[in-house]
Structure 1
């Protein structure tokens, strides 16, 4: 299923859902950040996805990281909340969502790195490499907030 992301675009379709989602900035022992190249839009992104009805939000982040990367993680902190109504995601099946994302920090506690059916590539990336990778503005914003080492989480 294809995915198109819009940001502050007057031509974006009208959302028909709000999806509560979690993502995680997972770092390795060298401080590199785990990113996935998404199959649905070919852009680099943090692992994450929608919260199930039986999930907690941190639990959703842990589950999504496991499903998308094969790694077991422990949540260690909060990067921020991302609820900008100008961010619209359209899927080829007709779903158009306004996403509500909470982005956590996490460390690896086990598992083996493995590509899922949602991605084409997984990489640990140095912070200096982030600007060279194609990614949506909203992913870049989360990574910027993480690399700024803010004393308080971003609330937006």
Structure 2
């Protein structure tokens, strides 16, 4: 399934769903950030996805990181909450999802780095190496919020 992101775009389709989601800024002992190159849009992104019934937002971030990157993580904090009603994701099945995401901070605890059916490339990056990667603005914003160190943000 393909996905197109619209952020504050007057030509964006109207949202028809709202789904809680989590993402994770996973930082290793060397200060590198874990990113995946998504199969649905070809862009680099943080691991993350929609929350399932019966799980917490932290469990969601842990599960999605493992599924998408092969890495097990421990949640250590919160980067911010992202609920901009002007940010929608349009899927080719007709769903247009309004953003509702909590971005958590995590550290790796194990696993083996690998791609998945949602990511065709997974890698660790020094923070300054991220700037030139193709990435949607909302993901770049989360990384910048983490780099700023200003604590949890509400957007």
TM range (shorter): over 0.9
Task: Tell me which stretches of 4 or more aligned residues in structure 1 moved more than 4 Å.
Answer: none
Cα offset for 1:123? 1.1
Deviation of the 1:60 alpha carbon: 0.3
- The CA distance in 1 between the partners of 2:32 and 2:10, in whole Å, is 36
2-structure distance, mates of 1:75, 1:113: 18
Q: Distance in 2 between matches of 1:102 and 1:125?
A: 22
Q: For 1:20-39, list aligned pairs within 5 A.
A: 20-39=20-39
Structure 2 equivalent of residue 139 of structure 1: 139
The equivalent of 1:155 in structure 2 is: 154
- Aligned partner of 1:79 in structure 2 is 79
The alignment of Structure 1 onto Structure 2 pairs a total of residues equal to 155
Tell me what 2:114 maps to.
114
Measure, in 1, the Cα distance between the counterparts of 2:86 and 2:25.
Answer: 23
**Are 2:97 and 1:97 equivalent residues in the alignment?**
yes
Deviation at 1:121, TM superposition (A): 0.5
Cα displacement (A) at 1:22: 0.3
2:13 is matched with: 13
- The Cα shift of 1:30 comes to 0.7
The alignment's TM-score, normalised by the length of structure 1, stands at 0.97
**Residue ranges of structure 1 left out of the alignment (5+ in a row):** none
Once the 2 structures are TM-superposed, how far is the Cα of residue 92 of structure 1 from its aligned partner?
Answer: 0.6
